[in-house]
Amino acid sequence: MNFFGIRAIYNFEMARMRRTLMQSVASPVISTSLYFVVFGSAIGSRMGAIDNISYGAYIIPGLVMLSLLMQSISNASFGIYMPKFSGTIYEVLSAPVSYVEVVLGYVGAAATKSVILGLIILATAKLFVDYSVLHPFWMFFFLVVTSITFSLFGFIIGIWADGFEKLQIIPMMIVTPLVFLGGTFYSIDMLPEIWQTISLFNPVVYLISGFRWAFYGVSDIHVGISAGMILLFLTACMATIWWIFKTGYRLRS
């Protein structure tokens, strides 16, 4: 195992975060805080509770998940895309590092950033909304596993993308709508039956439901199914990355 290689990539990526604190941390924290202010404090105080949870507190897990997904994808996709774009990828490809080590470096750093960001957002939410965490272990489990999984997904996007536009397409056109329609602002029990059924095809529903259960002990879907779904997606991402490195797809001609 090339530990120095993993550490070099990891530290390089973390240094990028430190250089771009405004973009990496401040920007997502501020934009998520705006949701807390508007939907939590302002509008939330005039809305009824859902499952006996105040509306402001109810939306926190979904909003944290929104940031987590977006930042995990963004961090990891940008991390691997930039060396491809600038040409410095030659160094990684010619180094004595296995694909597992490359992924550990890039995805490990992206997931670390996302977890840090998620914790900062949770701390910031306390300033605006009162909430509690009923199952801290499971909260942390969903936070970490979701960060890793979507960082892997972002890594795949970064390898697939051959332009900056493609880096943005999936997060903006697919992930954001899935999060908004995945129960961030409502319980899917509130939807007509047909839309409840359709919602079950949205993978983000499972993430938000499981994450919310960790906070308040209530969920739209059994937490075991939520955990199983995220682990299934994690496995799918790992299999895709294995295939990418085996074939050299968009990396080695």
- Number of Cβ within 10 Å of residue 165's Cβ equals 8
Q: Is 207 in the site for another protein (CB under 8 A)?
A: no
CB of 144 to another protein, least distance (A): 25
Q: What whole-number distance in Å separates Cα of residue 14 and Cα of residue 108?
A: 10
Q: Is 8 in the site for another protein (CB under 8 A)?
A: yes
Indicate the DSSP class of residue 43.
Answer: T
CB of 29 to another protein, least distance (A): 23
Give me the 57-86 binding string for another protein, x by CB under 8 A, dash otherwise. -----------------------------x
Residue 192: enclosing H or E segment and its boundaries? none
Q: What whole-number distance in Å separates Cα of residue 169 and Cα of residue 207?
A: 21
Q: What whole-number distance in Å separates Cα of residue 72 and Cα of residue 179?
A: 14
Among 23, 38, 90, 174, binds another protein (CB under 8 A): 90
CB of 116 to another protein, least distance (A): 21
Q: Measuring CA to CA, which residue among 66, 70, 242, 65 is closest to residue 159? A: 242
Q: Is 23 in the site for another protein (CB under 8 A)?
A: no
Among 19, 126, 222, 250, binds another protein (CB under 8 A): 19
Judged by CB under 8 A, the stretch of 10-18, 47-55, 205-213, 230-238 that binds another protein is: 10-18
Torsion angles phi and psi, residue 196, rounded to 5: -65, -45
Indicate the DSSP class of residue 217.
Answer: S
Q: Is 245 in the site for another protein (CB under 8 A)?
A: no
CB of 148 to another protein, least distance (A): 22
Q: What whole-number distance in Å separates Cα of residue 108 and Cα of residue 247?
A: 23
Q: Measuring CA to CA, which residue among 88, 141, 102 is closest to residue 118? A: 141
Q: Is 17 in the site for another protein (CB under 8 A)?
A: no
Q: Is 97 in the site for another protein (CB under 8 A)?
A: yes
Q: Is 52 in the site for another protein (CB under 8 A)?
A: no
Is the CB of 113 or the CB of 212 nearer to another protein? 113
Side-chain half-sphere CA neighbours of 109 within 13 A:
27
Residues across the chain: 253
Q: Is 4 in the site for another protein (CB under 8 A)?
A: yes
Q: Is 126 in the site for another protein (CB under 8 A)?
A: no
Tokens coding 25: 């941390």
Q: Which residues bind another protein (CB under 8 A)?
A: 2, 4-5, 7-9, 11-12, 15-16, 19, 86-88, 90-98, 248, 252-253
